[in-house]
Amino acid sequence: MATDRPSTVYLWELAWILPSIALPVGMLAALAVTAFGAGINVAGDRGRIDPTKVAEHALFKEPGVAEIAPGQYEVRMTGQIWAFVPNEVRVPAGSTVHFWATSKDLVHGLFVPRHNVNVMLLPGQISHAQARFDTPGEYPIICHEYCGIAHHTMAGKIIVEARR
């Protein structure tokens, strides 16, 4: 006795094959978007300095905040055992801040909640992040990579002052 309806086995195979093709294609598309569209890349040798000579490097010789153009500020910062240097950054509201940071000793993190700042600070690797601060207030700078027994004390703040 022959039937004209499709095989149930064929439909079940198709139900498994299509997602097994779609998932890798979707992951590859997400990887391409983050690598090329969002500019997220793995750190390379470019931007590396000797971690024992961070204080001698021109970028980190005088850590702090500098105005590089109207409304544009550059923060040169180092992470070291349980401290950010500088640990307080002051900028006016409406500023775009470029963070240039590295670590002198261990792996640290540089995280500013609700802003596009979330980077690892590897010893000797110069990291860059940029964010715009429009609303006056205090924003925490947090180390999000475990760096030892006093990791919980490693914090700083960004003070965004109202324009006068």
| Tokens (6 digits) for 62 | 């005088």
Residue closest to 51 by CA, chosen among 140, 141, 133, 123? 123
Burial of 111 (0-12, 13-18, 19+ CB in 10 A): middle
Query: For residue 7, what pLDDT is reported?
Result: 66
Residue 102 pLDDT > 90: yes
DSSP symbols for the chain: ----SPPHHHHHHHHHHHHHHHHHHHHHHHHHIIIIIS------STTB--GGGGGGSTTTSS-EEEEEETTEEEEEEEEETTEEESSEEEEETTEEEEEEEEESSS-EEEEETTTTEEEEE-BTB-EEEEEEE-S-EEEEEE--S--STTGGG-EEEEEEEPP-
Q: Which fold has domain 51-161?
A: Immunoglobulin-like (2.60.40)
Judged by average pLDDT, the poorest of 13-17, 93-97, 117-121, 148-152 is 13-17
Arithmetic mean of pLDDT, 127-134? 93
> pLDDT tens digit string along 11-70?
888 888 888 999 999 999 988 888 777 666 665 556 788 888 888 988 899 999 999 999
Query: For residue 143, what pLDDT is reported?
Result: 95
